[in-house]
Structure 1
Amino acid sequence: MCAAVYVLSTVTGYVLTSALLLKCPSLLHRRKRQTFLGRHISHRGGAGENLENTMAAFKHAVALGTDMLELDCHLTKDEQVVVSHDANLQRSTGINAYISDTAYAELPPYLCKLGVTFQRECFCEGGEDKRIPLLRDVFDAFPNTPVNIDIKVNNDTLIKKVSELVVKYDREHLTVWGNARNQVVKKCYKENPRIPVLFSLPRVLQLLGLFYTGLLPFVPLKEQFLEIPMPSIITKLKDPNNLTRSQRFITWLADTLLMRKALFDHLTARGIQVYIWVLNDEEDFQRAFDLGATGVMTDFPTRLKDFMDRNGISKPQ
């Protein structure tokens, strides 16, 4: 009987302590220093309004007032860091070649019309700018704009050169980098721990495990940005009638587990920003901000800006 009471009181004490620290993480963890805050994030520069990852897209988004540019990096054969999403150029240029096998001067231009990945049956037709830019072009043009860099391949030279560019342009306080793969994020952090990193997919799963077991308030986190999808948007990317029952269940379960206001509030209280991608509809913008997300990543920066202006959503003071 005494043992049962002891166990019960111990469990109760743990639960109460966990709940307290979930609400007040500063009791155990020093809040991470934030040098910028991203509310409005332009995915690939705004792939629904200009050709993705072009200087035209970045210029449009920055002129609109975006808080952050999201882009992707690869390394060419002559070791130039370029801004492009796919390793193979087929989808974006119509040429079946890999960026890593092509010198920068030989890279073909983008096609005139590209599909928008996160908007079903949507295409973007670009203007005159179809050039694949260098990362340094972006840094030169937008010295004060935060940039979110997805390191697309597990390449030590690419990671090293991106770090060197960030340091050269004095942008360690304006950059976040990473990848879904944990190995890449570890290499990024080892190469330059002064550049904030994203949670990799394995670390997101670990984060959820810690949250649902009540251990998260006790565990230190090196990452400063949680960048996650809103699983429910799959019904907008694919015809719902073509989704199987198991696909619909998995989507519902993932959305239920991942889209948690208590989790987002705890992370933001620790100075960890939460970005939800890639949202292109107003109802999803609203849901993300209602859940306590720090920012929204979109293909349509004008659409998101109009929504934020109408609803009085601005950077928290």
Structure 2
Amino acid sequence: MCAAVYVLSTVTGYVLTSALLLKCPTLLHRKKRENFLSQHISHRGGDAVNLGTDMLELDCQLTKDEQVVVSHDSNLKRATGVNTQVCDMAYSELPPYLCKLGVTFQRECFCEGGEDKRIPLLRDVFEAFPNTPVNIDIKVNNDTLIKKVSELVVKYDREHLTVWGNASNEIVKKCYKENPRIPVLFSFPRVLQLLGLFYTGLLPFVPLKEQFLEIPMPSIITKLKDPNRLTKSQRFITWLADNLLMRKSLFEHLTARGIQVYIWVLNDDEDFQRAFDLGATGVMTDFPTRLKDFMDRNGISKLQ
């Protein structure tokens, strides 16, 4: 009887402590320093800087002559019409972008390109937007690419304006080792670990090196594909992932620890509203003007 009472009191104490620290994590952890706050994040959209976007999201690859270029795809067939790998060509040999490109996160939607069809260098972005935070996805597990991106960040004095990483935990570890002064994103395995810690009540007790959680809103799959073509198992997995990931208490705990939460890639008012209602720090979009209009109409600003 005494043993049962002891176990019950211990478990109760743990649960209450966990709940307290979930709400007030700074009782145990020092809040991470936030050099910038990004609510409006533009998914590969440099023109959005004129709109006042808080952050640009882009992807980096390495050319044959070791130039760091901004390109989502390793193979350029989709973007340029030429079936070639970025890493197999020198920068001067890269083909230009097509005049019209599909929008990945919007069904049956295309965007027109500008007059300059060149694939840009990362240094071009840094020079054009010296004061705009940039979110860099290291698309290839390449030590030279990681080193050169770090060198460019340092050269342009952007360690306080940059976050980098990838879904691969190996790449994130290499990024952190190369330059621990540049904040890193949660990799996919670390997101799974984060969720495990959250649902077991252990998260409030565990230190986190990452400063940015960047996750999809699983429910948007129904807007990317015909919902009638999704199988029952696909619909169930989407529902389960959405319910596990989209947790207001998780987002509030992380932001209280100075870890910003970004949700991607949202392109309509309904999803914008849901993300901010859940307590996400920011939203990543393919349509910067649409997101800005929504934020202006709803009074969403850094003064919140």
TM range (shorter): over 0.9
CA displacement 1:278-313 (0-9 Å, x = unmatched): 000100000000000000000000000000000000
Q: Distance in 1 between matches of 2:214 and 2:33?
A: 18
Q: Distance in 2 between matches of 1:209 and 1:182?
A: 16
How far residue 45 of structure 1 moved from its aligned partner, in angstroms, is 1.1
Aligned residues: 303
Q: Distance in 1 between matches of 2:43 and 2:37?
A: 16
Matched, 1:9 2:12: no
The SS at the match of 2:132 is: coil
CA displacement 1:223-246 (0-9 Å, x = unmatched): 000000000000000000000001
CA displacement 1:60-111 (0-9 Å, x = unmatched): x000000000000000000000001000010000001100000000000001
How far residue 217 of structure 1 moved from its aligned partner, in angstroms, is 0.1
Q: Distance in 1 between matches of 2:295 and 2:130?
A: 25
CA displacement 1:104-152 (0-9 Å, x = unmatched): 0000000111110000011112131211000000000111000000000
CA displacement 1:199-252 (0-9 Å, x = unmatched): 000000000000000000000000000000000000000000000001000000
Matched, 1:159 2:146: yes
Matched, 1:30 2:17: no
The SS at the match of 1:78 is: coil
The SS at the match of 2:135 is: strand
Q: Distance in 2 between matches of 1:133 and 1:125?
A: 17
Q: Which runs of 5+ in 2 are unaligned?
A: none
How far residue 174 of structure 1 moved from its aligned partner, in angstroms, is 0.1
Q: Distance in 1 between matches of 2:302 and 2:141?
A: 34
Q: Distance in 1 between matches of 2:178 and 2:108?
A: 40
Matched, 1:230 2:217: yes
Q: Which runs of 5+ in 1 are unaligned?
A: 47-60
Q: Distance in 2 between matches of 1:232 and 1:165?
A: 37
Q: Distance in 1 between matches of 2:139 and 2:280?
A: 25
CA displacement 1:139-179 (0-9 Å, x = unmatched): 00111000000000000000000000000000000000000
Q: Distance in 2 between matches of 1:62 and 1:197?
A: 23
Q: Distance in 2 between matches of 1:104 and 1:131?
A: 10
How far residue 28 of structure 1 moved from its aligned partner, in angstroms, is 0.3
Give the TM-score normalised by structure 1.
Answer: 0.95
Q: 1:316 to 1:29 in 2, by over 3 A?
A: farther
Q: Distance in 1 between matches of 2:222 and 2:278?
A: 20
Q: Distance in 2 between matches of 1:98 and 1:276?
A: 29
Q: Distance in 2 between matches of 1:267 and 1:122?
A: 34
Q: Alpha carbon RMSD of aligned pairs, Å?
A: 0.7
Q: Distance in 2 between matches of 1:29 and 1:287?
A: 28
Aligned residue for 1:52? none
Q: Distance in 1 between matches of 2:95 and 2:249?
A: 47
The SS at the match of 2:131 is: coil
How many percent identity over aligned positions?
A: 90
Q: Distance in 1 between matches of 2:65 and 2:116?
A: 23
Q: Distance in 1 between matches of 2:302 and 2:146?
A: 31
Choose the corresponding residue for 1:271, options 254, 258, 266.
258
How far residue 316 of structure 1 moved from its aligned partner, in angstroms, is 3.9
The SS at the match of 2:16 is: helix
Aligned residue for 2:157? 170
Q: Distance in 2 between matches of 1:156 and 1:45?
A: 27
Q: Distance in 1 between matches of 2:241 and 2:44?
A: 25
4+ long deviations beyond 3 Å: none
Q: Distance in 2 between matches of 1:170 and 1:180?
A: 26
Q: Distance in 2 between matches of 1:127 and 1:267?
A: 39
